[in-house]
Structure 1
Amino acid sequence: MPDPTSPNPEAPRLVPPPRTYAHMVARWCILPLVRTPVTPNHLTTLRLISGLGAAVLFALGGPFWTVWGGVVFAVSAVLDRADGELARVSGRISKGGHWFDLVSDMVVNVATFLGIGIGLADRFAGPWGPILGALAGLSVGATFIVVFLVHTGGSHPSVAFSYPSRFDFDDALFLIAVAAWFNALLPLLYAAAIGAPLFLAFALWRYWRLKAPSAP
């Protein structure tokens, strides 16, 4: 079993091409790191720190902090793909690292939407801002768990949920950065507070259908 903490002298390995456009960018970014002591968990830690930093910037509110929050969030989203790509290409794959990645995703998404709600509370959303942010963030986090369960159950999420080719469902989170740059976080918050719980319900239904025994 490869040591997930040390560089693999045989890396980079021949691995399948990235499935999505975001993973293509991430793989290009991690290639210089394959034979270095940098591990996938290092990138996951940077993803967690930068994601929480983006949440704080969003919570500060105002155009300046919001734009920079979008920049930091975009970097964090790329790092979210980069850790897995580094693990695959370098051969440093570990179950603990996979769980660390999943927990980091959930924490960052909840914190980000909560930060957006707090940042918009004083100007637009009022006391509903943090509530809507928490609703959206928790729904996205719960959806990550359901998608993970689908994957571990042997069904690929892209098939189970009929994603468009070259996209994953969490690629939609890049819209957070775009909305921050174009002063559109308020409609995004409203849309996420409605759409994320609905998608969670759909994901739970699909998971239940996949787990249900087939009719004779």
Structure 2
Amino acid sequence: MSADTVIHRIVRPVVRLMAPTRVTPNHITTLRLLTGIAAAVALGAGNTVWLMTGAAIFLLSMLLDRADGELARQTGQSSVGGHRYDLASDCFSNIIAFIGIGIGQMERLGLLALMLGFAAGIAIGVLFWQLHVLRIGQVRGYRLAPDILIDPDDLLVFVPLLIWAGATVPMLFAAAIVTPVAALWLSFTGLRRKDDAPGL
């Protein structure tokens, strides 16, 4: 994962202000987890006001996701345990966000919305497992322009943007299709790499 994406640059000035304080990366990770849960609850409430609020909280949670690692690097507080806590919080927060969106759209789509939310959420969990536990792929930044670097999970910024634009249902359908396909593709390419590796 890159440490100099657009979102890292957005949070960096605030993190610099926090660096001399007693705030630790794990404090921020815990806040990331709590805001992730709050976003999922708000997204699941179903009405427009809560949906828009949930999208804003989700965006804040994404910024906190970058801030904890940034603070760890700036203050030399990086640790294996902190990294694992960060990954678990990120994974859980993203899974429940999509389940929350599915619950919130049940009035419009019935049980299909719940199925779509679970499909996207579970696939996100599978992708995290593949990338961070099985290590069958690499998460790397993509340079869109000389000063614009993004990680694949930065694309989650489109979730609140699409909700605010009134495209919650199309976004939910897209997430429920694209995310499982990405997990299957990663499994397939990971198995091919394993098969192509020279024998011992």
Normalising by the residue count of structure 2, what TM-score does the alignment of the two structures yield?
0.89
SS at match of 1:129: helix
Q: Which consecutive unaligned segments of at least 5 residues does structure 2 have? A: 144-148
Match of 1:197 among 157, 160, 180: 180
SS at match of 2:43: helix
Q: Which consecutive unaligned segments of at least 5 residues does structure 1 have? A: 1-16
Is structure 2 residue 128 aligned with structure 1 residue 144?
A: yes
* Corresponding letter in the other structure for 2:139: P
Normalising by the residue count of structure 1, what TM-score does the alignment of the two structures yield?
0.83
Is structure 2 residue 123 aligned with structure 1 residue 131?
A: no
SS at match of 2:86: helix
Distance (Å, rounded) in 1 between the aligned partners of 2:191 and 2:154: 24
Partner of 1:173: 156
**Alignment CA distance shift 1:190-1:80 (3 Å):** same
Contact between 1:48 and 1:104, CA under 8 Å: does it hold in 2?
Answer: yes
Partner of 2:17: 32
Distance (Å, rounded) in 2 between the aligned partners of 1:209 and 1:27: 39
Output one character per residue of 1:95-139: Cα deviation in whole Å (capped at 9) or x when no partner. Answer: 1111111111121111111110111001x2111111110110110
How many residues are matched?
193
List aligned pairs for 1:84-123, cutoff 5 A: 84-122=69-107
Is structure 2 residue 170 aligned with structure 1 residue 187?
A: yes
Deviation for aligned residue 1:211:
4.3
Deviation for aligned residue 1:150:
6.8
Is structure 2 residue 63 aligned with structure 1 residue 78?
A: yes
Deviation for aligned residue 1:20:
1.1
Distance (Å, rounded) in 1 between the aligned partners of 2:61 and 2:88: 14
Deviation for aligned residue 1:156:
4.6
Deviation for aligned residue 1:197:
0.2
Partner of 1:214: 197
Deviation for aligned residue 1:215:
4.5
Stretches (4+) displaced over 4 A: 209-213
Deviation for aligned residue 1:29:
2.2
Output one character per residue of 1:47-96: Cα deviation in whole Å (capped at 9) or x when no partner. Answer: 00001101111100121111111110000000001101111111001111
Distance (Å, rounded) in 2 between the aligned partners of 1:91 and 1:56: 34
Output one character per residue of 1:10-36: Cα deviation in whole Å (capped at 9) or x when no partner. Answer: xxxxxxx94311111122221111111
* Corresponding letter in the other structure for 2:174: A
Partner of 2:139: 157
RMSD of aligned residue pairs (Cα, Å): 2.0
* Corresponding letter in the other structure for 2:164: W
